[in-house]
Chain A
């Protein structure tokens, strides 16, 4: 680099409008590509030798480089508009993008034709049905990147439609199908859709029914309003999905809580677990408060492996003891505790985790913890955490999965057997629990080689279920015939392994017991339930009532 020691030195200072604080990462390169200063908490300053430097501004991956000569003290400011400033240069950071139409001075994706309806319709019902006693709502805002992009895709046959969504409750019952019924406002000119409905608190599934269907768990807490924002292109851009849980039923694009929630979403999605001291302080001292903001902050804190007696970790506990966490052991709370080293969630007992975490790092933490044999009961059989093992996708920070079939107990009420009685949904989020098949006892009595032989015989090579395939491969090629060993090998809960084995064996039995095949009679030990009920029970398509 030359005679750097002989150079004159000058002060470099960079400041930012408050709206850019923490949002824009600044990296200062010297002439030799060395990084001499970086960060996103402003102001920053450093004394540097005379020479050419490059300021790189980075917003969510969009970068812009500015080269300047340092031969006197310089001061730069990040601003959304050029202002006359003495001894300063004004730098306009590259625009940011989000599915949420946030501050239009910062986000190029906050076009007015999206921002205005997002604000206006956040306080209005679009769904005509209003449960009597609830102050909770789900708000879904689907938009395209821009009006122009919508125009391009509008008439494409295979492109997804804005109304290819439906809402299911935790039992798999369709609450609202936007394709078939009123419930949403659709704007065909600009390309946006809003659903806003008051609903009882609980766990819901938002299902995209277009090409490559997908389900998203949506938690609705008492006196909270769940807001989802999503970009649609040829298909939904699930990596753009953002979820807010708001105390007030409104949307403010300039609310710092929303902006920093979106920021932490993006960071966690990119596995960036850095937190500026100032931002962390603002969250911990209550200056910035918000359910999702706190949730994301908690994830980042535990993933960054802070020490338990660290001040910030200690601050987390008080946060969890107020506001919505009081409503019950939400799965994300349990997941965060697992990541932080506590399986019980500090309650003292290790109970099964009800519901699938909102964020997939939480789901992975639960999945991994349940592999330990002593902790296998963290995941209950046929709970969502079990069912989505094969279906989970990871292109979004939010836990999403290809549609799972939630068994509907009501289908079986024709049978007077009290074991089939349904359970009414309650106000707290809960996972589905469907009944053990009555011939489970028959299955459970079959162990050892016969069980594995039945599995191998029942396996259908053309299955789309990759877990069935992997188990089949390990059994046939490596002769691993122990569910616990399979669990360790595949890093999947033994509950899921056993269920998968059972389901493959059932295929063998179903084939044998089909009405077309009278040669094999079902074992005498189980009740003669009509075959159509059994078929309906195991039918893979979801039937709405």
Chain B
């Protein structure tokens, strides 16, 4: 048995006075989505089970919260639990959705703006680098996962705050590996996008959650850090580009196997109903990701077939006119519903 922990922060509400940080729309929902995943779906199917502890902090506008003390209080509660049986601790997740600011003097650090950040009070932010370093120095966790869905455009003279904990290196029993993911590159924006449900979500978290819920799974249904990184690198730009925005994440994977698994899903099969258009007189091939032909449909014109496909990439190819149609069962669209294709 082992224990996982999560500190989850979602901030939509920012001070109105003397601040050019607009209110956000999706940060709280993003954080709630991550919380739900952590509680219900994170981990693998270890028979001994995982004990999960988390603290979540969501913003409110009246009174305006969270401020620094609220975050520190939540972190303090979490660390107190972690100190009970440190040998059993596996992983700490630190998730933040809100406004962020890049630092002109340190490209590896980011200010995670709290609700009371303003142009004058530029220190009202968390220092991502200092929190990262503290989590490592605490030695309480074997792995630290840092996921930051926020901008990194720079302003000068922003001095974000470190955590109050000031541990000595090697305080605890573990030497942590780290997986960290920034929503965007240094001095770039992270965007909120319109989803198919009509609400606004951070592009990074939107893809992250689709990946963690199965989009980044391999054919055995395992979502590990390698595949998650590749998935985010591949699909965050696509999600942003749908809204004609540009965003590329910055991910660093320091987790090593065999403990780099985030979740396991049932690899399952997805039913696909393919309707061929009447002009398809030539044979049509259904090819898998390795280029192997799964099905060859002769005289496809007007026919309809149903086929169950594993997660992966496929291609329909009309041998006569060379038209192709990609099928991506691994799509970041979630949930995975039966797929209808017209070719």
Where the two chains meet, the residues of A that have a C-beta atom closer than 8 Å to any C-beta of B are: 1-4, 7, 29, 31-35, 49-52, 58, 60-63, 65, 67-71, 270-271, 364, 367-368, 392, 394-395, 466-467, 469-470, 490-492
Contacts and interface: CB of A to CB of B under 8 A. Distances in A.
Contacts of A61: 237, 241, 245-247
B109 interface: no
B313 A62 contact: no
Given A364-B104, A395-B153, A71 B291 contact: yes
A62 B287 contact: no
B185 A31 contact: no
B230 A34 contact: yes
Interface in B157-198: 157, 185-188
Interface in B184-231: 185-188, 218, 227, 230-231
B224 to A, nearest CB: 12
B289 A394 contact: no
B120 A394 contact: no
A4 B314 CA distance: 16
Contacts of B312: 31
Contacts of A492: 157
B324 interface: yes
B289 A52 contact: yes
A63 B324 contact: no
User: Can you list the 8 inter-chain pairs with the closest CB atoms, starting with the nearest?
Assistant: A61-B246, A31-B289, A67-B326, A50-B291, A33-B230, A51-B291, A469-B120, A51-B290
Interface of B: 104-105, 119-120, 122, 153-157, 185-188, 218, 227, 230-231, 233-234, 237-238, 241, 244-247, 287-291, 312-315, 317, 324, 326
A52 B313 contact: yes
B241 A62 contact: yes
B291 A69 contact: yes
B246 to A, nearest CB: 3
Contacts of B287: 52, 69, 71
A113 B246 CA distance: 27
Given A364-B104, A394-B155, A466-B122, A33 B234 contact: yes
10 contacts: A33-B234, A50-B290, A51-B289, A52-B313, A52-B314, A52-B315, A52-B326, A67-B324, A69-B317, A271-B188
A7 to B, nearest CB: 7
A69 B312 CA distance: 14
A31 B290 contact: yes
A477 to B, nearest CB: 11
Contact of A491 (B105, B187, B234): B105
Nearest to A29: B234
A489 to B, nearest CB: 8
A389 to B, nearest CB: 8
Contacts of B317: 69
A293 B283 CA distance: 53
A392 B104 CA distance: 12
A63 B156 contact: no
A132 B166 CA distance: 68
A61 B237 CA distance: 8
A230 to B, nearest CB: 20
Given A52-B289, A70-B291, A65 B314 contact: no
A49 B104 CA distance: 44
Contact of B291 (A7, A62, A394, A490): A7
A1 B313 CA distance: 11
A490 B157 contact: yes
A58 B240 CA distance: 13
B105 A68 contact: no
A49 B230 CA distance: 19
Contact of B290 (A2, A62, A490): A2
A467 B291 contact: no
A33 B154 contact: no
Contacts of B288: 52
B157 A466 contact: yes
Nearest to B328: A67
A270 B152 CA distance: 11
A52 B291 contact: yes
B237 A63 contact: yes
A393 to B, nearest CB: 9
Contact of A63 (B155, B231, B241, B291): B241
A246 to B, nearest CB: 28
B187 A271 contact: yes
Nearest to B245: A61
A4 B290 CA distance: 8
Contact of B186 (A51, A69, A271, A395): A271
Given A52-B291, A270-B185, A466 B230 contact: no
A55 B253 CA distance: 24
Nearest to A490: B157
Given A7-B291, A61-B247, 11 more contacts: A4-B290, A31-B289, A32-B230, A33-B230, A50-B290, A52-B315, A61-B245, A65-B238, A364-B156, A367-B156, A368-B105
A67 B246 contact: no
Contact of A62 (B154, B231, B234, B246): B246
Nearest to A469: B120
Contacts of A51: 289-291
A35 B247 CA distance: 18
A36 to B, nearest CB: 12
A2 B218 CA distance: 11
Contact of A466 (B119, B153, B188, B246): B119
A368 B157 CA distance: 12
A68 B325 CA distance: 9
A271 B187 CA distance: 7
Contacts of A491: 105, 156-157
Contacts of A58: 237
Contacts of A3: 290
Contacts of B244: 62
A394 B154 contact: yes
Given A51-B290, A69-B315, A368-B105, A33 B231 contact: yes
Contacts of A368: 105
Nearest to A491: B105
Contacts of B187: 270-271, 394
Contacts of B315: 52, 67-69
Contacts of B289: 1-2, 31-32, 51-52
